[in-house]
Amino acid sequence: MQLYNKLSAKQRATLIDEAGKDRITISFYQYHKIENPQLFRDKLFLEWNDLDVLGRTYVSYEGINAQISVPSENFFALKNQLDTISFFKRIRLNVAIEQDNKSFLKLKVKVRNKIVADGLDDNTFDVTNKGVHLNAKEFNNMLENPDTICVDMRNHYESEIGHFQGAITPDVDTFRDSLGIIEEQLKDHKKDKNLLMYCTGGIRCEKASAYYKHKGFQKVYQLEGGIIEYTRQVNSEGIENKFIGKNFVFDHRRAEKISDEIIANCHQCGKLCDTHVNCANEACHLLFIQCYECSNKMENTCSTECKKIIHLPFKEQKELRKGKHASNKIFKKGRSEKLKFKK
């Protein structure tokens, strides 16, 4: 019984090309008490592997957070499979705005303590006492209200390339960092202002809205389905789009274009650019914004040091990577001092 992916990303990419089938990228989440996350995880892996599902999914005692792709021909089979699970019935599936057959190259279903790393003790407040969910039209109306404070619950590298007009964009590296900072900044407006929140697909706001209500905020609202569902409604219903730039996504696409504006800059030359890349030096793997010209000049690296490293023999490069497997913890996303034009 195969319970883990055994193919490399390169092998899987080849299989996708050979299959010649269009795939659909989707995401969904559900907070629900799962008694045995490991057993549930194994069940999902086996069923999804049979449907050729790829992607990254976290399962915990508190629920599930899934970002996956599936062949178009298997989409309804996947939906039917989800409907057999009681707490998945009629669940909203956020379909990606821009499709890419290689958005994911492996199936990873992992058991985690939490489906989102929020750093909160869920036993200290009612996680089910969430804020009011708003659709795209309601969100736009609330956004125009002068008594509204709109907060982006995402990280700096996400909001840097796209955000809602007039939103507060905390300069944080992680979701857990933003919670306390936002509470402190808005502590004088717990009663008189509308706290309006949004994130990529809605999952971070689910927990944050309950947390802020626990902390005394009385008018708490959140964008249902996040930026992904907002964009779908904007496109299908002809609603005014108040999001500028791109929506950062956590797969090989890295972002979806929501509007024509480019609001970020190449971190190396300062030119208008909103294309995220990872440094070609695997010992670094820094996520940063790089324009086409700098990509050619720097050979897809973030610095002259890394440019030199990628020309070393493979064995020497491998030695340099030792102890640096958790590169995102060592090299913060877009924070390197080597980048001249970082936010």
278 and 208 inside one domain: no
- Count of domains for the chain: 3
Query: For 189-202, what is each residue's pLDDT tens digit?
Result: 999 999 999 999 99
CA distance 182 to 12: 42
Last residue of a domain, one of 111, 144, 179: 111
CA distance 76 to 23: 12
pLDDT tops 50 at residue 163: yes
Query: For 267-303, what is each residue's pLDDT tens digit?
Result: 999 999 999 999 999 888 899 999 999 999 999 999 9
Q: Residue 227 has which token pair?
A: 């930026």
255 falls within a domain: no
Amino acid at the residue 187: K
Last residue of a domain, one of 73, 88, 111: 111
Task: Report yes or no: 207 and 128 within 8 Å, Cβ to Cβ.
Answer: no
Query: Is position 199 annotated as part of the catalytic site?
Result: yes
What integer is the mean pLDDT of 212-239? 97
Backbone angles phi, psi at 148, to 5 degrees: -105, 135
Last residue of a domain, one of 83, 111, 139: 111
Question: Distance between alpha carbon 52 and the CA centroid of its chain, in Å?
Answer: 22
CATH code for the domain in which residue 162 is found: 3.40.250.10
pLDDT tops 60 at residue 328: no
Give CA separation, 300 vs 112, 285, 329, in Å.
Answer: 33, 10, 21
Query: For 93-134, what is each residue's pLDDT tens digit?
Result: 999 999 999 999 999 999 999 999 899 998 899 888 999 999
Give CA separation, 67 vs 28, 73, 197, 205, 279, in Å.
Answer: 7, 18, 21, 17, 24
pLDDT tops 90 at residue 135: yes
Q: Would you state the pLDDT for residue 65?
A: 97
**Three-state DSSP class for 230?**
helix
Amino acid at the residue 25: T
pLDDT tops 60 at residue 325: no
pLDDT tops 60 at residue 156: yes
Of the residues 199, 266, 284, 294, which is catalytic? 199
- pLDDT: is 331 or 63 the higher one? 63
Residue 142 domain boundaries: 122-232
